[in-house]
Every structure is written in structure tokens, then in C-alpha cells.
Structure 1
Amino acid sequence: MNKSKTLPKRSDVPAEYKWRLEDIYATDADWEKDVQKVKQLTEQIAALKGTLAQSGEQLLAALTLQDELLKTLDTVYVYARMRRDEDNANSTYQGLTDRATSLSTQVYGAIAYIQPEILSIPTEQLETWIKETKGLDHYRIMLDEITRYKPHTLSAEEEALLANMSELASAPSKIFGMLNNADLKFPMITDENGEEVELTKGRYTQFMESKDRRVRKEAFEALYATYGKFRNTIAASLTSSIKKDVFYARTRKYPSALYAALFADNVEVSVYDNLIATIREHLPLMHRYIALRKKLLGVEELHMYDLYVPIVPEVEMKIPYDQAVATIKEALHPLGEEYGRVLAEGFSNGWIDVHENEGKTSGAYSWGAYTTHPYVLMNYQENVNNMFTLAHEMGHALHSYYSNQAQPYTYADYKIFVAEVASTLNEALLMHHLLQTTTDKKQRMYLINYYLEQFRGTVFRQTMFAEFEKIVHEKEEQGEPLTADSLSAIYRELNVAYHGPEMVVDSEVDLEWARIPHFYRNFYVYKYATGFSAATSLSKQILEEGQPAVDRYLQFLKGGSSDYPLNLLKKAGVDMASPAPIAEALSVFKGLLDEMEQLLAEK
């Protein structure tokens, strides 16, 4: 697509660059039919309340009906939300999303009795039913998991009340999302050619990579000045989200919001703390990289808007979308013929929404429903970063594809802890391919710089985010007030510690917390760092061992939630209960840093 000064409308985007949501529902009328089906199934499952402890057959009937209900609800919700994501200003799909959200609240309110009723069944009786009731053994893993939640499950009435609060609890995230994606407008800035161009979140990365420092500074200041106008509003939405996290943790009798968030993955808090401690221990490597960046840019002061510009500015790597697709296919060849076939299908058969348009949700994600193939939302810009983002999201998509193919609906949805492994492994293989095939010394230095940036952004930066989340939740738990000023002060202190003495931490970046959507999905971002570390190890095994490692990895992709995340990863060949993989990843970072310094010495 041609770059213009303003974004195209959705209707102006060529069909070949749009995802095909018609694969979910051919028309909105078909969506309406499933909405009615969900309502009918909800009535049916509500009628079973109070009967689950009567017999194994009755329990099986409820669980089977629940699967059908939730599978249909997922499809309804995914379609509505993804249609809205195409253009957040489209009132039709705002309405469908609101209806799907309300419907979801009704459904989860209606099924809230199921878990408490299961927990009321004596363990011995439940075990007998599983053995004697044909088909109930399918739910053994689910039933064992429910039993694990027994200390944190309330009465049926209390569970119903919490379920009915879910729409209210999602308000902070929804308010931020609408402000961030639909209402927030950024000013025009002057680009490298002296032309006025609209600043967007999608273009911000491009401007941050500009060789012209004036452009970087102008984009940086314009972005944060815009967020600054709403700093108190966004602080209110974020602190409300944090309060919600703490409320749910306390209500369910968890020791802390962090413990509650990690409990779903059966991950100990020590894993989270080990990550922060290991990264803190290795911060001198990060400081060394910052000092190298300052030296190579030849600036007296290194500012936050200097963090993304390549430190090998002589190399221009403009990568059109079709070229990125071809490169990714070739780079992922070590994953085998079958993986390559599915990957090619995803690229050519309406899985991906490629380009930015007016009102479209920013960033990138992979999503979908069990009943259809996965989807990927992109806002593709023609640079190295976006090629890696595409490889990353297709890693998510194929993880979902394999899990959905191999697992029944009950166990198809893999845990968040392992969610970033497949995506980051794709990035590792792509980087390996590029470094193996690049003979130009300057391009190699450019790519090493990019890989160093991946470590900085995915391991160091996401761990800084994780530490921020830990601090602000602990302050809320201790009754300390959180305001725009206090959030900014905490965020500034972390930036100073992580970036070291050679970095000028500009006051604008104190507000960065105000534009991070992931903070509304509490204690999620640490998984980027752990996932990156696991992927570093697994990609190394695949490249060195070949087929045996590929087979283990594909089994991991097919695992869904049929086992706990740490167990699935251990079977694949990496032990994330230990800080060792984090340290191993940082040793790779050190090696890249060493090589970059050596290449520079040879110039």
C-alpha cells in the first residue's frame, strides 16, 4: 500500500490485505443465530443448577453442555470484537461487541454454580463417578484443576455475584481501549522530507527509527504530550484496574494479586521473583549496551528517543510485506514440511489483516475461536521490526492451530505462561536465518543491533514492566495511594535503574505507563521474558538436533492445556522452574554484544 499523509478508511483497503472474518460467520445474520443459540443453551444449563451432585451422568451432562455453550459464546464474542477492531469508530460493531460482552456476563453468571457444586462432591464419590460413568473420564484433568481451586472458590451465590460483576470489572480496560484506539488523536509532525505527516501509534515506531534526530525528538514529544493531556484520566483507569485485581485476589483468599495471577498457570511466585532478581543481577550488561549505543551514535547525551534508531545507520532495510512473508517461510524451514504447509496456508487464506487503517486497533495480535482457523491483526510498516512481529504473531497462530487440531475444546486453550514461547521461537529462527544468509558486514551489524534490541525490549524492558506491576500492586495492597504523579515517579526510578548512568531519562517517558495496554492484563508481561528465554533454548535444540527436537516441539504445540505449562516445557526440553534459562539467554545477549564490539573494532 502507498504511504499517504493520512490513514485510509477501512473500505479503501484492498481485499487481499484483509482478514476473512466471513470464515467465522458469512453474515451478521448468522452471528445473530448463534447469539440466540447461546441464549437457549444458557437457559438449559441454568436449569441444571442444584443437580450436579446427584449422579455422574448428571455431572457429565452439565459439563458437555458447558463445552457447547462456551465454544459457541467464544465464536460469537471473537467475531464481534474482531469486527470492531477493524474500525473502532464503527457503531454497528461497537454495538455487537457490547452485546457479546453482556451476553458473556450472562453466560458466566449462569454457569457460576458449576464449580462450587463440583467442589461439594466428596473426592471419593467424584473418583468413583469418573471411573464408572462413560465419558466423564474426558474431564478428569478439568476436575482435578477445579479441585486445586477449592481453597479459592466461594459459594454458588457468591460466585454468581462475582460473575455478574465481570462487565463492571472490565470497565477500566474498556475505557482505556476506547480512549487509546478511538478517541486519542495525535498531531501532525514534520518528517525527514519536511512534509507534514499525521503521527499515529503505528507510525511512531518508524519515526523512532528515523536517522533524523529532530524527527525522533518531535515524534517522541508529540506522543507523550498527547498522553499527558489525559494523564489523570488514564491514571484513574489504571488504578481502578489494579484495585480490581487486588479485590478479586482478596475475595478469593489468595495471599496477593501476584499469587492469584500466577495460580492459573500453577507457577510459583518464586519464578516471577527469580526473573526480576536474575535481570537485576545482569543489568551491567544492559548498561554496557546503552554505553555502546551512545558511543556509536556519537551523541553527547543519549536520550530515550535515541533507543530505537539503528546504530548502524548506513544500512537501509526496507522490507515490503510480500518480501517479509517469503523470508519468514524460508527461515522457519527447520520446523519441517508440515509446519511450513500450515504457515503457507495462513499467509494465503485470509488469516491476516495486514495494514493500518483509520480507527483500526493498534499493535498486533493473534486471536480466533476454536471453530475456525486463527487470525492475526497487523498494522504492517515496511521495516525489520514489523517482519519480526509478523513472524511472532504467526507463531501464536500456529500454536493455536496445532492445539485446536490436537485437543478437544476442553483442553485446546493453552495457558498464557507458554503463549509467548512459540511466537518468540519463530523470531529466534528468523534471526538465525538472517545472520546465516547475510554476507554484508554492515547488514550483519544492523541485524545484531536488532537482535540486541530484541533482548533489550523483550527481556530487560518487559521485566521492568513486570517489576512496575509488582510494585504498584503491592502499594495498593498496602493501602498506599496511586496517582498520576506516584505512578510516574515509580516508573522513572525503574527507568533510571534499568538504563544506567549513560542514559538521559527524559521526563516525558515517566508517562509511558499511560500507554501500555498490557498493564490492564495483570502480571502478563513477565511471560514475554520467560518465553523469550525458553524459545532461545528450544530454537538452539531444533537447529542442533534436528528432527528429534522438532518432534518434541510440535508435541508441545499440540499440548494445549492438557498439562501444566512448566511440565509441557520440560517435556519439550527446557526447565523454566530454574533461573538457568534466563541466564542462558543473557549469555547470548553478552555474546552478541561482544561480536558487535569486535565488528566495530575491525571497521
Structure 2
Amino acid sequence: MVHILPARSAVPVEETWDLSSLLNGSTDFNEELTNLEKQALALNKKFKGTINDSKMVILVLTDYMLFTEKLVLVSTHANLTASTDQTNDKAQLQASKFGATAAKIGSQLSFITSELLSLSTETLEQAMEESTEFRVFLKNLLRQKPYQLHPEAEKSLAAFSSTFNAPYSLYNTTKMADINFGDFEVNGQKYPLSYGSFEGDWEVETNTKLRRAAFDAFSTKLKEYQQTTAKTYDMQLQTEKTTADLRGYASIFDYLLFDQEVDRSLYDRQIDLITSELAPHMQKYAKLLQRVHGLDQMTFADLKISLDPSYEPEITVAQSKQYIDDALAIMGPDYIKMVDRSYSERWIDFAQNKGKSTGAFCSSPYGDHPYILISWTGRMNEVFVLAHELGHAGHFYHAHQEQNIFNGRPSLYFIEAPSTMNEMLVANHLLKDSSDLKFRRWVISSIVARTYYHNFVTHLLEAAYQRKVYKRIDAGQSVNAGILNELKRGVLEDFWGDAVDINDGAELTWMRQPHYYMGLYPYTYSAGLTISTQVSKRILSEGQPAVDEWLEVLKAGGTQSPTELAQMAGVDITTEQPLRDTISYIGELIDELVYLTDEIEKADGVEISQS
């Protein structure tokens, strides 16, 4: 049953993360921020106007790297503190203050990039030869050269960075602080509703009347804020379009894909192939859900329900650790040591409380350990979620041990491969040596409903919708709530066909996703899962050699392009074959769910209806 969420202050401390190491033992955030401002000013005075040869390139980057390490820790403290309670005025003001100060610092230090890019290519290449530590940084810098503006323009843009980031902050404030969902009523009884309770509980509620009533109430309240949220999103889009034009990119897509180090063809292929070829498999899955639950019609509000809710075990945080340790043991003792530390040293925020950010994420600041946010409801499904976030943690835990701060982070295109890999390892572990039909069905349905639905359907349909939005923006147009609703509904209807009734409120799901403020992020989930699906198959068939290669990929961090990282793991993403193989694999899983359901119903004496 869903409960009213407590205030953050009422949550047991053992359910929260410990952020104390981020400020190096200091309890004064403002003092740390003031010190950073002074250090940035000192860097400006020391180096501005002096970067004229390879020796000075190396000297300035050495000092800049050390400064960046300190800045990241304070930034992470501000952002993570705010993420656990959007209603905490002190935390929100602290995050705003950091944003304003970071903009000043960025403006002070914008000369570094400008002066580096004013040097000849030969000088920069000489610096790359003399210091392998900065080779990747300078290589990426050279790629930016055609899009670099005049130094004074760069300084001005850096000074406005907190303003450019304002739409995302405004979105979060509207979503987590302003919207009060109140209660909804079914048969004279009232039930509490919030963002957290809807996405964590009501969306998967087995009682159809309650689930659909919660969806309707949730959608009705969202609709009251659709105009403000749409205007906020349009501000983000127009800022990105203006930046792309100012810097001389051919399109907003080229601008947003630049840092991902992939071309438009990989982006389009991921969306087009999945939208067309995965749809029939997922429509079959939707019809299976409808049949098993005896629904009069299959609506959008029913898509997240479990295939067999009676087989959904509840699980404690302590029990989750055992499952994850067992499943990820194949990754080796160092990896498991990291997992164990994440629990014992409170790297994870498990609490459910009012104002906490929805969903789950992992933040991995250089120079400290990773931090994971999740709202634990006790469902076995969350073992997959936690394993996913620990995949991000394990990635950067290994990369940061081997690489400097400039080399640690790979392209966004690859970022979801290590996380989804862990989900596959959990699933493979649970399926190993299991012959019980109901257990196998439960595990496979968890893979389909959690791992693949979430990453290959939810996020992919977000990407298909997002592409339509950006095409409008690239053509010089804007968006409003009506347009966004129409685009989202169209994408959902095209994918689900006549298998699912896209009921009123489904079109408003664009209001729920923060990824739209992070560039072309949503499609990368399916890209990462395509890679991890293929590598997990290798691990199953080849064992330790495939694991060792994967660990080397994690350690490589951002020193290779996503194509090169995938190649290191034995996957060629320059072709469409890995994606087609993954879609085929999802189809096989759904076919097995149909078969297992038929066998279970035969054994239970249930008459099978073919719908």
C-alpha cells in the first residue's frame, strides 16, 4: 500500500547517503566556494596571456586539472544535497549559489580554451607528444577548433552559463516543489498520490481500478502545469538552437552529437530500427499482459504491470546486497569490494521522502567514491535498478583509478553500456540452473519489463519524440504544450498500434522526463544496452576472457571513442547487426514468456485464450 511520504528530516540516517567526504572534512560550503573563486582568479592572473608554446600548455593544464578536481567535489555536494529534497530552501539556495559562482569561475577561466585554440595545430600536437596525460584533452580540443568563438564571446557565454542552465532548474522546481497531487478517491476511499508514489507504486498496482484511477488523477494534475513546463522546455530548446547557430554547426543535431563522437547515422539508425522492428514484439507482449490479467482493453496505464504479480517477492536492502554480490561475482573481487563498500560506507541514498528526485541515478565525482540515489520500495525489480546504478559506479570507480579527470568520462553514447551490463548479469544469474516455470517466467518478465522495456521502449520512444521536437526547432520553429502533446501521442500510437489504447494523459509523459534537458541522451540507453547485450552473451559463452576484456573497457574511461570501446569488447557498432541481434533476442524472450504462460496455465487447468 502507498504511504504518505515523510519529510527528509524524518528519514532514518542509515537510509541516506553520507556526503561528508565531498568537502574534505569541511562543514562550511560557502568557505569552500569562496576558496574556489580565489583560486580561479589566481589561475587567471598566473596564466592569462602566457600560453604560447607546448611547455606552457602543459603547465596551465596541470594547474587547471587540479583546480577542476576541487570544483567537481563542491559541485557534486551542491547538486546531491538539492536532489534529495527539492522543498529544502537552504539546499536549493546553496545549489543556486554554486551555479552563479561556477558561471563566474567559467568566465574567469574561459581564456584557457581560447588561448589553447589560438595556438597552431603543430604546437598542440607537440604538447600531446610531450605529455600523454593531456593527449585526449587536446585531441578533443582540436575537434572543437572550427566551432570556437572569439575569446571575449567565449568569456561572455561562460558568464551566462547558470542562466543557460536555468530551464532544468525551473523544470525540477515545478515538478518536485510546486505540484501537489493530493489524494485520489476510489469507491469512497482516499489514497495518497505523489510523483514518487505514482512511479514507484501506483503505475505497477495490480488492482486495475486503483491503477487507472491513479493514472487519471496523476495526468489531470500534470495537465494543470503543462503550459509552464512546455515554456520551460522551449527555453531549453531555443538556447541549444542559438548556441548551435552561433558556433556554426550545420544543425542542432550536429551540435548535440558532437561530444558523443558519433555521426547522425548511428543516432538515426538506433531510433528507426527499434521503432519499426521492435514494435511487433512489444505489441505481442502487451497482448500477453492483457490476456493474463483479463483486461477488457489494454491501455497505456496498464503497460507497467507485472506479468505475474503474485510471484513478485518483497526484498529488503540487506537482501538486495546478497543478490547483487552473487550476480556480479563474475566481475571479480575488486568489483565486489566496491559493491560492499557502497552499502557499508553509505554511498547509496535509499530513503523515500517528500521532495526527493524521482527515478535513480549515479554521480561519480573524480577524487571521491560514487553516489547512488534510489527510492527503495521493497520490490525485487529494484535489484535490477540498483545493479544498473552500480554499473555506472563500477565504470567510473575503475576508470578514475586508471585515468585523470580529463580522461575518465567516455562519450554519452557509451555511458549506459556498463549499467545495463549489470542488469543482464543479474538476469543471467537468476536464470542459471532454474527449471521452475513460474520462476523462469518471473525472471524473464523482469528482463523484458524492466531492462528492455525501460531502456529499449520508454527511453527509445522518448528519443523518437525528441527527434521530432528538434526537427521543428532546427527549422526555426518553437513548441508549446499542444504541439508536444500531439508529437508524443503520435509516437506512442505509431509504436503500439492497435495493441494498446493510448488513453488520455499518456501524451503528457513528456512532462515527466528530465533527460530532455540533457541533449540527445534518451537514445543512448538503447545504444548502451545493444552493446551490453552482446557482451553479456560473450561472458556467458566465453567466461573469464570476456570479463577481463570488459574490465579493460571500464578502465579505459574516455580515452577511446564509443566505436573503439565497443570494439575492445568485441562488438562492432558501425554495422546494424548488433542492434538487429538484440531486437531478435528481445523477441525470443517474449516468445518464451508466451510459451511459459501457456504451460503454466495448462498445469493450473486454465483454459488458454488466444488473443
TM-score, normalising length: structure 2: 0.94
Shift of the alpha carbon at 1:191?
8.0
User: 1:414-429, aligned counterparts within 5 Å?
Assistant: 414-429=410-425
The residue that corresponds to 1:479 in the other structure is 476
Shift of the alpha carbon at 1:53?
3.9
Matched, 1:101 2:95: no
Match of 1:23 among 17, 21, 24: 21
Looking at structure 1, the residues matched to 50 and 360 of structure 2 have their Cα atoms a distance apart, in angstroms, of 42
SS at match of 1:197: strand
Residue pair 2:23, 2:32 contacting (<8 A) in 1 also: no
Matched, 1:292 2:254: no
User: 1:309-324, aligned counterparts within 5 Å?
Assistant: 309-324=305-320
Matched, 1:465 2:462: yes
Matched, 1:442 2:438: yes
Matched, 1:389 2:385: yes
The residue that corresponds to 2:513 in the other structure is 516
SS at match of 1:558: helix
The residue that corresponds to 1:345 in the other structure is 341
User: 1:47-196, aligned counterparts within 5 Å?
Assistant: 47-48=45-46, 50-131=48-129, 136-189=131-184, 196=190
Residue pair 1:417, 1:531 contacting (<8 A) in 2 also: yes
Matched, 1:433 2:429: yes
One-letter code of the match for 1:17?
E
Residue pair 1:403, 1:414 contacting (<8 A) in 2 also: no
Report % sequence identity. 28
Give the count of matched residue pairs: 597
- CA separation of 1:130 and 1:382: change in aligned 2, threshold 3 A: closer
Shift of the alpha carbon at 1:437?
5.3
Looking at structure 1, the residues matched to 50 and 136 of structure 2 have their Cα atoms a distance apart, in angstroms, of 18
Shift of the alpha carbon at 1:278?
1.1
Looking at structure 1, the residues matched to 372 and 285 of structure 2 have their Cα atoms a distance apart, in angstroms, of 33
The residue that corresponds to 2:608 in the other structure is none
- CA separation of 1:164 and 1:325: change in aligned 2, threshold 3 A: same
Deviations 1:196-249 (A, max 9, x none): 432122221321222210110111011111110111011101111111111111
Residue pair 1:41, 1:65 contacting (<8 A) in 2 also: no
The residue that corresponds to 1:500 in the other structure is 497
Matched, 1:260 2:260: no
Residue pair 1:152, 1:253 contacting (<8 A) in 2 also: yes
TM-score, normalising length: structure 1: 0.95
Shift of the alpha carbon at 1:294?
2.3
Match of 1:526 among 519, 523, 528: 523
Residue pair 2:186, 2:213 contacting (<8 A) in 1 also: no
Matched, 1:555 2:552: yes
Residue pair 1:402, 1:558 contacting (<8 A) in 2 also: yes
Looking at structure 1, the residues matched to 387 and 496 of structure 2 have their Cα atoms a distance apart, in angstroms, of 28
Looking at structure 2, the residues matched to 255 and 429 of structure 1 have their Cα atoms a distance apart, in angstroms, of 41
Matched, 1:406 2:406: no
Residue pair 2:128, 2:138 contacting (<8 A) in 1 also: no
Structure 2 unmatched runs, 5+? 603-611
The residue that corresponds to 1:202 in the other structure is 196
- CA separation of 1:130 and 1:321: change in aligned 2, threshold 3 A: closer
Looking at structure 2, the residues matched to 417 and 344 of structure 1 have their Cα atoms a distance apart, in angstroms, of 28
Residue pair 2:410, 2:560 contacting (<8 A) in 1 also: no
SS at match of 1:332: helix
One-letter code of the match for 2:151?
A
Structure 1 unmatched runs, 5+? none
Looking at structure 2, the residues matched to 6 and 69 of structure 1 have their Cα atoms a distance apart, in angstroms, of 43
Residue pair 1:291, 1:502 contacting (<8 A) in 2 also: yes
- CA separation of 1:515 and 1:4: change in aligned 2, threshold 3 A: closer
Residue pair 1:239, 1:482 contacting (<8 A) in 2 also: yes
SS at match of 1:500: helix
One-letter code of the match for 1:426?
N
One-letter code of the match for 2:38?
Q
The residue that corresponds to 1:34 in the other structure is 32
SS at match of 1:457: helix
Deviations 1:335-391 (A, max 9, x none): 122211221111211100111112222221111321211110111111132221111
Looking at structure 1, the residues matched to 274 and 235 of structure 2 have their Cα atoms a distance apart, in angstroms, of 29
SS at match of 2:521: coil
Deviations 1:78-128 (A, max 9, x none): 111211222222222222211211111112112212222212212223334
- CA separation of 1:129 and 1:555: change in aligned 2, threshold 3 A: closer
Looking at structure 2, the residues matched to 580 and 52 of structure 1 have their Cα atoms a distance apart, in angstroms, of 51
One-letter code of the match for 2:202?
F
SS at match of 1:574: coil
Deviations 1:453-509 (A, max 9, x none): 232221122221111111111101213341111110111110001111121101211
- CA separation of 1:89 and 1:265: change in aligned 2, threshold 3 A: same
Looking at structure 1, the residues matched to 417 and 386 of structure 2 have their Cα atoms a distance apart, in angstroms, of 15
Looking at structure 2, the residues matched to 562 and 191 of structure 1 have their Cα atoms a distance apart, in angstroms, of 56
| Larger CA deviation: 44-53 vs 278-287 | 44-53
Looking at structure 2, the residues matched to 113 and 140 of structure 1 have their Cα atoms a distance apart, in angstroms, of 20
Shift of the alpha carbon at 1:27?
5.8
One-letter code of the match for 1:372?
D
Looking at structure 1, the residues matched to 586 and 384 of structure 2 have their Cα atoms a distance apart, in angstroms, of 18
Residue pair 1:355, 1:379 contacting (<8 A) in 2 also: yes
- CA separation of 1:306 and 1:128: change in aligned 2, threshold 3 A: closer
SS at match of 1:151: helix
Residue pair 1:80, 1:96 contacting (<8 A) in 2 also: yes
How well do the aligned residues superpose, as a CA RMSD in angstroms? 1.9
Looking at structure 1, the residues matched to 83 and 122 of structure 2 have their Cα atoms a distance apart, in angstroms, of 48
Shift of the alpha carbon at 1:291?
2.5
SS at match of 1:576: coil
SS at match of 1:593: helix
Match of 1:232 among 227, 236, 260: 227
Matched, 1:13 2:8: no
- CA separation of 1:503 and 1:128: change in aligned 2, threshold 3 A: closer
Residue pair 1:88, 1:181 contacting (<8 A) in 2 also: yes
Residue pair 1:35, 1:76 contacting (<8 A) in 2 also: yes
| Larger CA deviation: 492-501 vs 412-421 | 412-421
| Larger CA deviation: 279-288 vs 345-354 | 279-288
Match of 2:242 among 243, 247, 260: 247
| Larger CA deviation: 225-234 vs 452-461 | 452-461
- CA separation of 1:304 and 1:600: change in aligned 2, threshold 3 A: same
SS at match of 1:47: helix
Match of 1:582 among 579, 584, 587: 579
SS at match of 1:149: helix
Looking at structure 2, the residues matched to 597 and 542 of structure 1 have their Cα atoms a distance apart, in angstroms, of 27
SS at match of 2:377: coil
Residue pair 1:395, 1:422 contacting (<8 A) in 2 also: yes
One-letter code of the match for 2:498?
P
SS at match of 2:69: helix
Looking at structure 2, the residues matched to 504 and 440 of structure 1 have their Cα atoms a distance apart, in angstroms, of 34
The residue that corresponds to 2:266 in the other structure is 271
Looking at structure 2, the residues matched to 311 and 373 of structure 1 have their Cα atoms a distance apart, in angstroms, of 37
| Larger CA deviation: 495-504 vs 311-320 | 311-320
Matched, 1:594 2:588: no
